[in-house]
Structure 1
């Protein structure tokens, strides 16, 4: 039986990007189609107030990236935090990427704030600090496409650090067998990263923009991270 994944979409793409890329929910569906564990997906845009029905059951809930600040007080963010806390307390598995990574860290007692390092853009590499059994395929280190100006500056007390770099010390973490989060974007492709860099060029400045664009031809392991996520979710089924 396929895994059932609820994707909580926490952004609406800029108008210039919607026709080609649709939304982060579709990007994740396309990403997960490349890994070997079968899954089916239901996408709900929580910015627009859409949530799964009360009687729906899922093997995991995935919180996407967003332009919003995870520490913001927007009503939709407050509602999402309440929903995720209820899911966590019910024992459900939770996945987070970028905004989702930061929001879940906050929710579970960590700290997220504007990074003094500035914007992270383009492609970035991390050292893997732990390599649990579900982290298959096994990698020596991890490279992902990124786009963020906020970071998790303190992990939840019961979290395990999985990946780190000098620029982003808390790049991936897990909480027991229930929560798995990544700062980088496994669902991004280089063309999308270039598109958002181009849209933000004047804001980012030439130095950051050029640095981001120069690394987009590097290989990145988004597909491997997707498989890690599915194995993280599926391992209880195999037990």
Structure 2
């Protein structure tokens, strides 16, 4: 069970990553943050929940995991002084990873707007817009890579097509038309498979009517593709 307490400003400035903060900054941040004690293997935040807080690891080690169907992928470990839960600094989104205490941990928890305005001295909305058009795409690639680990070609290709439909799609009466022209070799590179196997899987998708070919253009049916990705694996 987690326990909460007030945060001592010195617990922040003792961290190498935040030692540069002025005493008044540390005091303001400590006033608006909460110190959370999390026992080993306890959850810090859940995958899929709304991103609404920034976390600073004060003591211990935490781990970020991606739970993909029945598989658990260890994305990385977090050490003292690291700031994490950074999806909350991007436009409204949900947590792509689950975070747990690898050892007993003490974590500072603060609202993203408080963290940004106190530590950086700029409006959180401005930072969010800048991050979205800079590191946002790299964050998306990290999440997609973690999502692909352990998946078969069918699921990887479906996920890649859904991502492309979100970024480069326009609505069509039959689904979502991709405005970017990609060859089968391009898609094969995107999902880490041979062109032949990728072509075979695209043909299967077409027979299942989750994609539609219109000459050289590709139309995605997102609802059907998403259902395919979420379906339990066959025995």
Structure-2-length-normalised TM-score: 0.28
Higher helix content, 1 or 2 = 2
Structure with higher RCO (Cα < 8 A, 6+ apart): 1
What is the TM-score of this pair, normalised by structure 1? Answer: 0.28
Q: Which has the larger radius of gyration?
A: 2
